């Protein structure tokens, strides 16, 4: 499954492919669907502003803005389909 999104970096349409789609059957028999993205925590938060705009800082800003665009469209797609969109980081995933 792919979800179209507009990249603020190159100002073009792209396709986002989530990492997982999980269907969980609840006790009463209903099925709950989750679209899951796995990312390092650092990529889920806006970069810390620096005095100098280094290449690393610029790349972090671009990565974060692209991720935001992907996740906005993924959340909307899930909302329309009655699913839940979740992002998992190293804080949640156990070794």
Q: Take residue 65 and report the two structure tokens written for it.
A: 């803005």
Are 15 and 2 in contact, with CB atoms under 8 Å apart?
Answer: yes
Strand partners, 24: 32
For the chain, report the end-to-end CA distance as a whole number of angstroms: 28
pTM: 0.86
Q: Take residue 85 and report the two structure tokens written for it.
A: 């969109």
Structure confidence at residue 6 (pLDDT) = 97
Integer Cα distance of 11 and 8 in angstroms: 5
Structure confidence at residue 29 (pLDDT) = 92
Structure confidence at residue 25 (pLDDT) = 95
Structure confidence at residue 68 (pLDDT) = 96
Q: For the chain, which residues score pLDDT lower than 70?
A: none
Domain ranges of the chain: 3-88
């Amino acid at each position: 499954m792919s979800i179209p999104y507009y990249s603020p970096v190159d100002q073009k349409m792209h396709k986002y492919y989530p990492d997982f789609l999980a269907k969980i059957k609840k006790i009463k028999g209903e099925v709950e669907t989750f679209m899951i993205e796995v990312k390092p925590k650092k990529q889920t938060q806006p970069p810390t502003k620096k005095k100098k705009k280094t290449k690393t800082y610029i790349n972090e800003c671009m990565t974060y803005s692209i991720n935001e665009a992907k996740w906005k469209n993924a959340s909307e797609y899930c909302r329309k389909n009655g699913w839940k969109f979740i992002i998992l980081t190293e804080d949640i995933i156990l070794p």
